[in-house]
Structure 1
Amino acid sequence: MLRHGYLRSPVYYREYTIGTGSIQTRGTWIMHRPEHPPDFVLYYIHGGGQVLEALEGYRHVLQVVKDASKVCVSGDSAGGALILSLLLELGAQADNQEGKGVNASVRGGLTDPQPPHLALPRMATLISPWVTLMSNLHYTSKSDFLDKRTLWRYAHEYAGESMVQQQPASPGNCVDDALWRAASPERGYFVIFGEEEVFAPDIEDFLKRQAKIGVEVEGQKFDGGIHAWPVASIFLSSTEDKRLQGLRTAVKEIRRRMPEWGTLNGDKV
């Protein structure tokens, strides 16, 4: 209804088609003050895309904002997996160009052997990321609305038999500590997940692995929460405070790690 003019959006937004040739994707810019250059960009991926599309979208964001330190990459569920795949690709590009020994085959041949290097974002905020497409750490939760066997079927449809247990399609299968360090945003990761969700053990394992190699990482587990709880709670919780608790937690952490955010527009959380 917004697209056809029946309703008016309370914020400015504009839809874009990004990329050329066989690698094109669509995205939406939502801007508080479109007349001013952005002092902060949240590059959010919900899912339903491919790694090269995520990379193309990130390239577009950097062309607009001109400064990767103003960017927080974020995503939920499959979108969280795409963000991790994107970061692994950026880390591999950086290491290849700096001669640190990460082989191009680590990326699975996604891009040219010497692609233009894109700077890493300031931080990543992930909501219930699908870290590993198929993992024995996934468990059948009595509370969650997701089922691991159905998820594994979707994983095969997304990545195919040859890539379903390989990076970058399945980020959690990457065991190269040097690559993970190269892929880490400047201020690391903030990850929100629910105690009762299918992915909870795999997410906790990811947090431990990142902390072990010296990456700045913090997790927020919601007691009794299910998959993508900050999103699900908007519809399921009974009070405004509970509905917004997860989102406010994410915003607070983003502001802490990106102190420049809001200095130009004076916004409050």
Structure 2
Amino acid sequence: MGNQVFAEAVPPKLSEVNGNPPPECPMHNKGATPKSDGDNKSKPSECPVQHDSNINPYNMMPPANQQPAPDQPFSLPTNRQVSTIPRAMPDGSTEFWVYPSQQMFWNAMLRKGWRWKDEDIKQKDMEDIIKIHNANNEQAWQEVLKWEALHAKECGHPRLKSFGGKATQYSPRARIRALLGYELPFDRHDWIVDRCGKEVRYVIDYYDGGEIDNKYEFALLDVRPAMDSLDNIWDRMKVFYMRYRYELIDDKKDDKLTN
């Protein structure tokens, strides 16, 4: 995905991660872009993190900086977690996106202007931030797969090709909700999914869900196909009908129980 993982904006108080988490930190924020199975060995693929212009066009990654900053107050792990999100590769091999290490996240925040001396930050805070970041991406992918289940017959192995952060570009749905009195999302992503050769764009709005749970999830995700094709519009109409129909069924069951 073009401009990618990590917060693009300067992170707020990192010490808040034990309460209401800072919205910019866990997600890959502002500024980012939005095959097949074979006998090739599965391997991890670099998680995209566009923070400077020196980008590898193959994996959309800058050179990974795993070196501690000169005045860093404590050491940070450099190990990286392989996600469960398959990546669409042009050569047909199987790869999975790889999340940034704590050290990479720290260095990325410094490049964006954050200074640790302004915060009461501890090693545990960075560990929590990475867990939140990764958990929210896994949650988003599971929501995408629910929509992709509508096309399981035509493609049983959708893959994530790219994603882009658009935190300041609110979706029409988010704007309408705001006019009705609801809060605006703190982040937005557009994810491009490879549906066995067909590119499908998804819009993901992230809302503050309050306290972090024991799975390090806090965001409420509104995931849906973008209304930029007839297929996507039809999928949304089908899901709207199914939700409306089953709500009516549930209401009738409740009425029978109360009567």
Q: TM-score range by the shorter chain?
A: under 0.3
TM-score (norm 2): 0.24
Structure with greater contact order relative to length (CA < 8 Å, sep ≥ 6): 2
Give 1 or 2: higher helix fraction: 1
Quick check: which has more Rg, 1 or 2? Answer: 2
